[in-house]
Structure 1
């Protein structure tokens, strides 16, 4: 590999220059070369570099980059081949176990231990719909180092030829084009960041007067997180009435309640959490009509998702798989209802539960939590714990459903409500709750602010309190993979897997460079492709495929 540079004709000699080369973090600093009548030339063996994009950067005597060119280095195969060996060379039956071994070795045959792999088993026809799609290898070696969209990145690695090599070089000459603006960097002037990168989960905002005009400095804030974990902390707003809580834990969706008080103790303030930059509501162009195989895949995929949701064990008691049946309306004896039967907040128009009138109850005007007021007032209602960690059951049948002004919510949201903001609560037990589905009963909460006829109702934010849902860290979910053959009390239901039999993103090879997999076929015959991708311990991409055939009776 040779790099050449010659300064402009007639220009004064700028002094020695240096060529810096780098591939995926692997650096080689070449000796400086003078610039004169003859071009400066560097020669380096391509074998010294790993596969990937090579950055050739020319640096002047002051250490400032002047030019850069990208090229692609490919020494041998782009990926380490993974050998996949199923325990049968013939076809498998329906709901049959499949045992598969994965083995990795380098070019010398030495095992590659501690490789991190992901394995999927997908219907072969769907897996081959886009043979040039993104892979771990194409991302690691190519697209992660380029700006913009790269169409069909797998094309450059699927069948390397002189034509694909020229196409790859053209790609790097276009989307790999660079320009250096180093003046601010050299002078130490950092760019202005309107939205700095968060290092942890954070919640900020501002406390304002009750009409939302004047910031409230030195406001006492209480931060109450109720989900997924429970924690409480406090803070104080600055001179501009702003606050920021940083570093709290949260997986999936974090539910946080903020309570603010003036320095003198008053609650007549409004909390306005930051919601981030505004997002333009742009209409997306209509999607093109998909080809037949893709349309068929979408149809089956939606059906598989519906079946998986229905068969999800976490939605049912241990050892039981049930289905909700929507019953007809149940006639019940009328009881005193503080909320009119035709109130739009009534989900499904349900009436007839046990009603607790908070608006005329002196105990409910003391600022207690909703669960505290309900304690001992409804037969069969069991409440335990202390705020904000109270739990509730109806006739020991599990946690009931909660409906706040016609919308289903979690118990954590109800735990944060103050009784003075509640108009009434209606408890549905037994047959009364049949229209809602489930067996744990229903508790419906009606707030004063949501009632258009309530005198003095304010449609603005609740004074001194705000409940915020924040996206947290992704909570990984396990792919549904049944195990047949074990004795069960009930007959197994239909297998929801139609297009994807197995997915495991956390496979690691042992000291012998091997890993063992076990999964079951489903209720569908066909040919399925097993694909393994990942990286070795020293960062080399891995890929391997094998097909298995499922044949029903």
Structure 2
């Protein structure tokens, strides 16, 4: 993946130098387009647009299950980096957060769902620190449904429909709408969440004359041809979703300008036709323009164009263009964009992974042998790094007919602005209707990379978040008396677990220090000590914790309507034996039907100033009101926290044999120390029943005690000047997917096995012949089993394959 990126960058520079020279020797030497393209090349080299995709084992989950995933990064500024993966609820709260070291652009992990997580819409979000410097549209997002059978479902669909807001927009091809030029006009009807809605209607002018009728093609998107007449204004009379009527004005046509019309449907070429209209009807003189084609920041096509007789037609062979989105821009002599058009080129040059099984049908619990082979369209094998998911489709709540995958994400979703529904639809075949739908998508969604106007004005992004190649601990040393930074101060960092893990750094002229090259799993407690040049410890240490603070929540595209129209049939999935298993586990009735999911609001609550290494606590006790009635914290909390028992001045979370880990403002602390603290000093107490982010010490849960502001200095190491204790979050521990291996001679090893994910393997590698083999055992559920494999080759090509087999019940 990295080699091809470096080669592409070098090739881009070479092409740029050649073409700049070509422009400089052209008759119109004053053309400023070469300078603009040189700036664009600098932008792309300095600010690579990193992208990440997560392959999940499924799209919907039950409470207490695991979400398994593998991450694939492309176009990263560094070969190995820290990757953040978060689970958010519908209101934007981070439920869980993980950090992984993506070595060579690859990482894998999981989320464990508690048995108390409520039913609702959730979102997986992933990003790197570098990606935070740009619009968060570059973040990976995956909407999913989590179902808790303990919850009572409520119907809020009627309320949702009342709140629906319609957005109807027009997009003239090329971005211009010129009087007297017949123009393709695309349109899109969507609700407030970006979900496309069927639309139809007619176009009428300001005199009431009907110009045409139109109807959307796919997901509320369509187009029509219209030649605006001089002096006329046009309005669309639209009916959306079969019931909502509205009038929408079209853009007012301009008296002069250039229209760009592109025909990309031909299998061998694309035709670009430019038509100019000038106010001076006799002006047929040649005017110089520059047509530029670029993809992902790399310019691959550039041509000077002389507009003679106000028209120009150009054919470009598709074989000369790479797979992906191509942005064609027409510049005038001042390097000002005149019109622009996106085109998608598909050479089908991704890698197919063929899946074969040793049988067409298996028995329950029978061993399955799968063979994988990765090859291109010419049949050549490829070394590849893959992730494989085998799951029971009857356990899934379908939220899309053509869901996102590694191909659609990197080729469409990561390149276009806005929500793209059912992205797999655009690659399902090469039929005319599919190609037209894909072209309509190009007409209605903007390109994400950069805006030419920003490049012209040298408005480059401000880098606030550097790329993270490891775990870092940074901070500031100040003097206690004056509070000023202390330069040239010796800072020692020592692990509480190991006296051999000692590191030392000097503060710079601003009193700042940085410990780098840290690579460890789990969370480790460190003790820091700062000694000034005089050998004194009259200093105080402040740590920078911003790197682990989650970015602001933006939006959760609601797939709620699809769920309403396609509810999961849990009666079908819950076979009699499986139903008994679920009933025993969840204590639910015999018949369970998933109704509508109540989506809560998306307003983000302001923080309370406390730094947390976990998402949402299982229980929160607010202690802001001072209460001197209780003699100690133990007296006050006894019986106040559900599921927590106090025995011998220790806190036990029900179900655990060992006491919970206690932390005071993020620092592990003894229970005896808490006894001595006045109750009125505390702000909150939060209980986390499952705390893997704290390592093995969090296996029995953790209770976080937070002090009121201004109280910390009185209780945390009050006698230790120049000392600071901190919990440094390491890389998340990687768990292994458990797949039982059944022994035919011990048929009752596990009484019931109705796992939704039958097999997950994030590290499948094909050999030099493109081959790999895996094996696993079936579950007790008969029916169809689906297989999805995704990944990348050594040179960054995308891989994907799907398959299925049948499972029959034992007689």
Are 2:647 and 1:350 aligned? yes
Are 2:807 and 1:546 aligned? no
> 1:114-148 CA deviation, whole Å, 9 max, x = no partner?
13332211002245723321111211321121123
Aligned pairs for 1:196-275 within 5 A: 196-210=466-480, 213-225=483-495, 231-253=501-523, 255-275=525-545
8 Å Cα contact 2:408/2:424 also seen in 1: yes
Ranges in structure 2 where 5+ consecutive residues have no aligned partner = 1-269, 586-631, 651-656, 677-695, 699-704
Q: Which residue number in structure 2 is paired with residue 139 of structure 1?
A: 409
How far residue 535 of structure 1 moved from its aligned partner, in angstroms, is 4.0
Indicate the structure with greater strand content. 2
Aligned pairs for 1:323-342 within 5 A: none
8 Å Cα contact 1:403/1:409 also seen in 2: no
Q: Which residue number in structure 2 is paired with residue 465 of structure 1?
A: 723
Structure 2: how far apart are the matches of 1:127 and 1:168? Answer: 28
TM-score normalised per structure 2: 0.45
Corresponding residue to 1:15 among 288, 307, 311: 288
Q: Which residue number in structure 1 is paired with residue 163 of structure 2?
A: none
8 Å Cα contact 1:114/1:508 also seen in 2: yes
Q: Which residue number in structure 1 is paired with residue 248 of structure 2?
A: none
How far residue 43 of structure 1 moved from its aligned partner, in angstroms, is 1.4
Corresponding residue to 1:69 among 341, 366, 371: 341
Corresponding residue to 1:503 among 760, 768, 776: 760
Q: Which residue number in structure 2 is paired with residue 293 of structure 1?
A: 568
Distance verdict in 2 for CA 1:204–1:50, change over 3 Å: same
Distance verdict in 2 for CA 1:483–1:343, change over 3 Å: same
8 Å Cα contact 1:227/1:253 also seen in 2: no
How far residue 20 of structure 1 moved from its aligned partner, in angstroms, is 2.5
Aligned pairs for 1:71-110 within 5 A: 71-75=343-347, 81-93=352-364, 95-108=365-378, 110=379
Structure 1: how far apart are the matches of 2:530 and 2:356? Answer: 63
8 Å Cα contact 1:118/1:534 also seen in 2: yes
Q: Which residue number in structure 1 is paired with residue 170 of structure 2?
A: none
How far residue 500 of structure 1 moved from its aligned partner, in angstroms, is 0.7
Give SS of 2:391's match: strand
> 1:143-197 CA deviation, whole Å, 9 max, x = no partner?
1211232222122223554333333222222222579655764676744334444
Distance verdict in 2 for CA 1:485–1:298, change over 3 Å: closer
Corresponding residue to 2:387 among 104, 107, 118: 118
Are 2:755 and 1:485 aligned? no
Are 2:327 and 1:55 aligned? yes
Distance verdict in 2 for CA 1:164–1:45, change over 3 Å: same
Distance verdict in 2 for CA 1:409–1:493, change over 3 Å: farther
Aligned pairs for 1:357-436 within 5 A: 405=662
8 Å Cα contact 1:229/1:250 also seen in 2: no
Structure 2: how far apart are the matches of 1:484 and 1:526? Answer: 19
Distance verdict in 2 for CA 1:212–1:544, change over 3 Å: farther
Structure 2: how far apart are the matches of 1:52 and 1:124? Answer: 31
8 Å Cα contact 1:345/1:406 also seen in 2: no
Structure 2: how far apart are the matches of 1:531 and 1:450? Answer: 45
Q: Which residue number in structure 2 is paired with residue 393 of structure 1?
A: none
Q: Which residue number in structure 1 is paired with residue 272 of structure 2?
A: 3
Are 2:304 and 1:32 aligned? yes
Q: Which residue number in structure 1 is paired with residue 314 of structure 2?
A: 42
Distance verdict in 2 for CA 1:55–1:477, change over 3 Å: farther
Distance verdict in 2 for CA 1:225–1:59, change over 3 Å: farther
Distance verdict in 2 for CA 1:141–1:457, change over 3 Å: closer
How far residue 16 of structure 1 moved from its aligned partner, in angstroms, is 5.2
- Root-mean-square deviation over aligned CA pairs: 5.2
> 1:214-264 CA deviation, whole Å, 9 max, x = no partner?
434443211234679973222233444332333322345454432223443
8 Å Cα contact 2:781/2:807 also seen in 1: no
Are 2:766 and 1:521 aligned? no
How far residue 525 of structure 1 moved from its aligned partner, in angstroms, is 3.5
Question: Computing the radius of gyration over CA atoms, which structure comes out larger, 1 or 2?
Answer: 1
How many residue pairs were aligned?
440
Structure 1: how far apart are the matches of 2:529 and 2:277? Answer: 68
Ranges in structure 1 where 5+ consecutive residues have no aligned partner = 308-338, 354-399, 425-439, 443-448
8 Å Cα contact 1:524/1:552 also seen in 2: no
8 Å Cα contact 1:68/1:178 also seen in 2: no
Structure 1: how far apart are the matches of 2:810 and 2:723? Answer: 60
How far residue 106 of structure 1 moved from its aligned partner, in angstroms, is 4.1
Distance verdict in 2 for CA 1:284–1:501, change over 3 Å: closer
Give SS of 1:32's match: strand
8 Å Cα contact 2:666/2:726 also seen in 1: no
How far residue 98 of structure 1 moved from its aligned partner, in angstroms, is 0.7
8 Å Cα contact 1:532/1:544 also seen in 2: yes
8 Å Cα contact 2:472/2:515 also seen in 1: yes
8 Å Cα contact 1:220/1:237 also seen in 2: yes
Structure 1: how far apart are the matches of 2:383 and 2:325? Answer: 25
